[in-house]
Amino acid sequence: MAHEVKIPLKTPIITHGGEVREIVLKAPSFDAYMEHGEPYTVAETPDGARYAVESMEVIRAYVADCLVSPADVNLLSQCDARTGREVRKVILGFFQPDGEVTEPSPTSPTTSPSS
């Protein structure tokens, strides 16, 4: 089963079937990734500082592909901008490193990175 993230709503979405009180997004599939690519690119300033440039068009495509609930992506237009930011954050989070390195290795006496 795909990883899912739930975003609780302060104001429910009204549908023909009743109220939806949370947005549920599933992790993007392989096919979705191959179709849409990365939701952001990493750029670099002349002095070497790196920054991400997001593509709202790609993020929107992932929202449409990853939305579990509500059933129709058009219903999200009932939400406010703050909810939109939360949905964007979840989609971008699917593309972040897993962070499984938070636990120290059983063979390593410290948690500090090696030089």
- Write the pLDDT tens digit of every residue in 19-43: 999 999 999 999 999 999 999 999 9
The model's pTM is 0.79
DSSP characters for 15-70? ETTEEEEEEEEEPPPHHHHHHH--SEEEEE-TTS-EEEEE-HHHHHHHHHHHEEES
Write down the pLDDT at residue 115.
39
Contact yes or no for 58/38 (Cβ under 8 A): yes
Write down the pLDDT at residue 50.
94
What are residue 114's phi and psi, to 5 degrees? -75, 150
What pLDDT digit, counting tens, does each position of 51-89 carry?
999 999 999 999 999 999 999 999 999 999 999 999 999
* Gap between the Cα atoms of 39 and 59, Å rounded: 6
